[in-house]
Structure 1
Amino acid sequence: MKTKAVRLYGEMDLRLDEFELPEMQDDEIMAEVVTDSLCMSSYKAITQAQKHKKVPDDISENPIILGHEFCGTIKKVGKKWKDQYQEGDKFVIQPNIGDIRGYAPGYSFHHMGGDATTIIFSDQVMENGSLLKYNGDSFFEGSLVEPLSCVVGAFNAQYHMKKMYSYEHVMGIKEGGAIALLGATGPMGFLAIDFAIHGPKKPKTLVVTGRTQKKIDMAARLYTVEEAKKNGVKLVYVNTRDIADVNKELRKYSEKGFDDVFIFAPNEEMVTYGVKMLAFDGCLNFFSGPADQEFSSRVNFYNIHYNSTHFVGTSGGNTEDMKQSIELIENKTVNVAKIATHILGLDHAVETTKVLPELEGSKKIVYTHKKFPLTEVDKFDENSDDKYIRELKSIVERNGNLWSGEAERYFIQNAPEI
């Protein structure tokens, strides 16, 4: 069977190819990808290519399929997996498939990745429990399970003493405590705001910072102070661009310091003042993955010794985080549609991935079977010559100018095939 896929051959060498998939084996599963969410981690992969930990050395001869935030349906099930998976099942993928080399779909494999029409899952994926069933309302929300799981995993990885001087730790953010989300005006930061407000453990105080007022205003519009208050959370947005002493300024909202601090940008200065912001037994999570292998910052060991401050670094979510994220989306506890700001077809995935850091907005959703230019979901042309575009605009407006399951179904039915 032929497939179309975006493949990586070398640094910034991305190509949309059509090629023949091998014959599926009895211990494999063939699947149709419907959506893939473009991720900055993929941009790191294409800029580093073979230097990236997860990218094989031989991609110039054996290119890999890009994309690890994808959702679709199962087309064909090998004999080994007939009792666990059925044709027509919706799925999402946990990219951390337990490969000893650190390899993952979207970075490392020739026949499985998100920017493709049809793929084949190897036995290893199912053996590791990484092919997960998903019953959500839309495919695009399924593509956002993985990024949400990264946030869920970060919150779950936090820990605090059960009581003072205890060596027993309670996992997760401190319930009823104070959280600071530093540099949290990108898509992952937005998900963290949503999860902090609506998740199972809620803080009493939530401070969100950024350096670009337009992005802060967008966050405040999507995640309002009033909505947070309804959930028992005092939410404050702060632009830190012109603040000389961020620690001093933010302590106005939590004088004792913050129980949980999350760093959403690989910025040395941010880490330094984030460490200073920690309360007694405070936990700092360095969420943002730096490209620089020598990235470092000053750490106050006095506070580690006397104030029991501690540090966590998380990279992605595990399978349990994925399952929790699926449930949050299926139950509409967290509204991931708020971060789906653009859609596009597979024909524009190469050029869009190459310029991801330059693009405004949040998540860009690729519909892998469609031909469609990169388009903001609230900017469809009401004067378009295409009747389906005008109707699409109407659907988006009915859904609060957000992409939705209704919009997706109409788009899939009417947009041109690739």
Structure 2
Amino acid sequence: MKSKAVRMYGEMDLRLEEFELPEIKDDEILVKVMSDSICMSTYKLAKQGKKHKRAPQDMDIHPVIVGHECSGDIVQVGKKWQDQFKPGEKFALQPALNYQGKLDSPGYSYRYCGGAATYCIMPHEVMELGCLLKYDGDSYFKASLGEPMSCIIGGYHANYHTNKHNYDHAMGTKVGGSILIMGGCGPMGLGAVSYGLAFENKPKRIVVTDVDDAKIERAKQCITVEEAAEKGIELIYFNTAKAKDAEAELMAITDGKGYDDIFVYVPIKPVAEMGDRLLAFDGCMNFFAGPTDNQFKAEINLYNCHYTSTHIMGTTGGNTDDLVEAIDLASKGTINPAVMITHVGGINTVADATCHLPEIPGGKKLTYMQFDMPLTAIDDFEELGKTDPLFAKLDASVKAHRGLWNEEAEKILFEHFGVK
């Protein structure tokens, strides 16, 4: 059957093409992709081309389909999986396979499997590893955002605190502690705030820093201080650029004790070093941001590491359990991954948006695979709606949901473009 997909041939060489998919094998599954959010990791793949550790060396001859934050419907199931999956079921994907020690991953390595496609084929290893997950939510976009949310969830679970009596590690952020999310008003940071308000290891407070007033104001609207207070958590947004002494003022929020858990969401040396200095006794700093410089370094205080048990770690990606938790919480409305989304577009926008991702302001770019539509900022819906009835409807929908993308808005798009 025919599929249309964004395929990569080399460095910054992404092309939207139509081609013939082969018939599926008995151990494969054919899926219809509905939504795919664009990940910075795909930009890094595009920038590096064959140099990327997951990229096949023959991509110039056999291009790979990009995109891995996808969701859609199962269309056809090979004989091997017919007792587990049925046509018509919705799916979410965990792309971090690590199958038999290989780095191959959907969206990076496969000719016929990737999220930026109308249809694609899930290879046997995806199902063998339990990475094709059934999803029962009302919208596709929340399942697409399950993958980035799983990375956030993995970070929360991976943090740890020591016990000096028996040296057992208490996993997860500290119950009743103070969390600091540095550079946290971007899409992933807001996802971390949303999950922090829902995590079973309930903190006393969450402090979120940024240097951009516009991003901070949007964050305050997306996740309000009042919403956090209703959950018994103090939520503080803090502009470090406007503070006379940001470090001292952040420390004062904790009465000089420091932060039990710190997540660094921007790969900036002074930010990481300040995070290290703001750690409480037995504090854990998670360097979550992924730098492009493989020689990125920052100084840490080893005196504190020795005498006050501070420790630093890093996490990247989430596992299948994290993804299961992400889509379950999203489908129940316990977390709202929509706080990440600032732009919406069609399959025709993926190649250009991916190659220019760092230059496009805002958060997550959500794309839908079954139609063409310009990549449009949610903030622009109101102005566009003055002359376009579609954007007038979308504007009314997002305004009814605190300015956020939502299930109703997705259905408006599907109805407009005749997607079933």
TM-score range, shorter chain: over 0.9
Select between 66-75 and 192-201 the one with higher mean Cα deviation: 192-201
CA contact (8 A) 1:69 1:147 kept: yes
Which of 399, 407, 411 aligns to 2:401? It is 399
State the match for 1:360 in structure 2.
Answer: 361
Distance 2:402 2:299 in 1: 44
User: In the alignment, what sits opposite 1:275?
Assistant: 276
Aligned-partner residue type, residue 401 of structure 1? G
Deviation (angstroms), 1:365:
1.0
* Structure 2 match to 1:382: 385
Number of residues of Structure 1 aligned to a counterpart in Structure 2: 415
1:294 aligns with 2:307: no
Residue aligning to 1:176: 176
Deviations 1:112-143 (A, max 9, x none): 11100000000000001100011111001111
Distance in 2 (alpha carbons) for counterparts of 1:285 and 1:401: 30
Out of 402-411 and 3-12, give the one that drifted further.
402-411
Q: Is the 8 A contact 2:36 2:368 kept in 1?
A: yes
Are residues 416 and 389 of structure 1, via their aligned partners in 2, closer, same or farther at CA, if it must alter by over 3 Å? farther
Structure 1 residue 364: Cα displacement: 1.2
2:411 — aligned with what? 409
CA distance in 2, matches of 1:306, 1:398: 52
Aligned partners of 1:372 and 1:416 also within 8 Å: no
Structure 1 residue 166: Cα displacement: 2.9
Amino acid at match of 1:247: E
What amino acid is aligned across from residue 391 of structure 1 in structure 2? K
Alpha-carbon distance, 1:249 to partner? 2.4
Q: 1:409 to 1:326 in 2, by over 3 A?
A: same
Secondary structure at the counterpart of residue 252 of structure 2: coil
Give the partner amino acid of 1:333: T
Computed over aligned residues only, the root mean square deviation of the Cα atoms, in angstroms, reads 1.5
Q: 1:393 to 1:235 in 2, by over 3 A?
A: closer
1: distance between equivalents of 2:178 and 2:402?
31
Query: Equivalent residue of 1:75, what SS?
Result: strand
Return the alpha-carbon distance in structure 2 between the equivalents of residues 50 and 358 of structure 1.
23
1:316 CA drift (Å): 0.7
**In the alignment, residue 108 of structure 1 is paired with which amino acid?**
S
Query: Greater shift after overlay, 303-312 or 172-181?
Result: 303-312
CA contact (8 A) 1:34 1:369 kept: yes
Asked whether the equivalents of residues 378 and 402 of structure 1 are also in contact (C-alpha less than 8 Å), the reply is no
**Contact 1:62–1:110, Cα closer than 8 Å, also in 2:** yes
Q: CA deviation at 1:244?
A: 6.7
> 1:10 Cα shift?
1.1
The alpha-carbon deviation at position 172 of structure 1 amounts to 0.4
1:27–1:122 CA contact under 8 A, matched in 2? yes
Give the whole-Å Cα distance in 1 for the aligned partners of 2:270 and 2:286. 15
Question: Structure 1 vs Structure 2: percent identity of aligned residues?
Answer: 45
Measure, in 1, the Cα distance between the counterparts of 2:225 and 2:8.
43
Q: Which amino acid aligns with 2:109?
A: S
Q: Which runs of 5+ in 1 are unaligned?
A: none
Deviation at 1:378, TM superposition (A): 4.3
> Helix, strand or coil for the counterpart of 1:155?
helix
The question of 1:303 aligning with 2:304 is answered yes
SS in 2 for 1:42: helix
Q: Is the 8 A contact 1:347 1:372 kept in 2?
A: yes
Report what 2:24 is aligned to: 24
- Structure 1 Cα separation of the partners of residues 174 and 391 of structure 2: 46
Q: Is the 8 A contact 2:222 2:402 kept in 1?
A: no
1:160 is paired with a residue whose SS is strand
The TM-score, its normalising length taken from structure 1, stands at: 0.96
- Residue identity opposite 1:156 in structure 2: H
Amino acid at match of 1:19: F
Question: 1:337 maps to which residue?
Answer: 338
Contact 1:392/1:407 (CA < 8 Å) preserved in 2? yes
| 1:208 to 1:399, Cα distance in 2 relative to 1, 3 A | closer
Alignment of 1:58-97 (within 5 A): 58-97=58-97
Equivalent residues of 1:98, 1:128 under 8 A apart: no
Give the Cα separation in 1 of the matches to 2:110 and 2:177: 43
| CA distance in structure 2 between the aligned counterparts of 1:245 and 1:305, rounded to whole angstroms | 27
> 1:306-325, CA deviations, whole angstroms, 9 ceiling, x for partnerless residues?
11111221111100101111
Q: Which moved more, 1:257-266 or 1:405-414?
A: 405-414
Paired with 2:355 and 2:114, the residues of 1 have a C-alpha distance of 17
On the 8 A contact 2:222/2:404 being kept in 1, the answer is: no
**Greater displacement, 276-285 / 403-412:** 403-412
Q: Please, which moves more after superposition, 200-209 or 392-401? A: 392-401
Q: Structure 2 regions of 5+ residues with no counterpart? A: none
State the secondary structure of the residue aligned to 2:117: coil
C-alpha distance in 1, partners of 2:401/2:280? 41
The Cα shift of 1:18 comes to 0.8
Partners of 2:143 and 2:165 in 1: how far apart?
A: 42
TM-score between both structures, scaled by the size of structure 2: 0.95
Determine the structure 2 residue equivalent to 1:229.
229
Distance 2:39 2:119 in 1: 20
Is 1:5 aligned to residue 8 of structure 2?
no
Q: Which amino acid aligns with 1:410?
A: I
Q: Distance in 2 between matches of 1:201 and 1:291?
A: 32
Aligned residues of 2:94 and 2:147 also touching (Cα < 8 A):
yes
CA distance in 1, matches of 2:397, 2:251: 44
Aligned to 2:315: 314
In the alignment, the residues of structure 1 paired with residue 67 and residue 22 of structure 2 have an alpha-carbon distance, to the nearest angstrom, of 20
Closer, same or farther: CA 54–245 of 1 in aligned 2, 3 Å: farther
| Shift of residue 384, structure 1, vs aligned partner | 2.6
Cα deviation code 1:4-36 (max 9, x no counterpart): 000111111111011111221000000000000
CA contact (8 A) 1:372 1:415 kept: no
The amino acid across from 2:54 in the alignment is K
Aligned to 2:34: 34
Q: Secondary structure at 2:188's aligned position in 1? A: helix
Q: Which runs of 4+ in 1 moved over 6 A?
A: none
- Quick one: distance in 1 between partners of 2:165 and 2:302? 18
